[in-house]
Structure 1
Amino acid sequence: MPYAMWKNGKLCDDGYLKFHKRISERSGLGDENYLPSPMHYIPPQFSLDEARAEAELVIFTAIDDLLAKTRVSPGDIAILIVNCSIFSPTSSLADMVMRSCV
């Protein structure tokens, strides 16, 4: 598979590509590592829908695991705080979780 790197919507020069290829190869990333689905395309295809789908996958998986391990009922939870350093949609991630429980 040819290696390509996009920056600002343009294919980068060979020096830039070689540098990033070397960093990627040395990073230890392999076939079993996770990359967000937009990163599976050249150029990457970022969208609000893709970001929300990824947030839902991560958040709901973590919540399901936590509730199963602690045997806490969702109805017993009075306060919910959800934080994501990059993705901050409107309505909030906490609202997304609460709407799924109703």
Structure 2
Amino acid sequence: AIPVYAGEKNYPKVAKLVRGYLSTIIKLVVSPRNLASGILLARLVDTIVSSRPRVHYVCGFHQHLNVYLTWPYQVGRSGVEQPISVDLGSNAANDLDSLIAIRKSKSVE
């Protein structure tokens, strides 16, 4: 998990807390579930059926980063269209670069 927020105030502490929280959930429930998945699915179906392009956070191949990840994408009638530009602070950008390097090294193995 990479926290992205304006200013990145106390970024190391926030990142540690977010990752610790997610880690605790995974340990307790073994297979975490997104409690909002029903609402998110309904919104996605509405986007496609109504032909109103919207931004959705979906897992897809990000051509500029050359890796699959969950990212905000423009989604429309024809599916996932394009990644949305995200202004990352320096801490989040460093964490993202590290994550991408790890994923790329694992895909080579």
Query: TM-score range, shorter-chain basis?
Result: under 0.3
Q: Which has the higher strand share?
A: 2
Which has the larger Rg?
Answer: 1
TM-score (norm 2): 0.25
TM-score (norm 1): 0.26
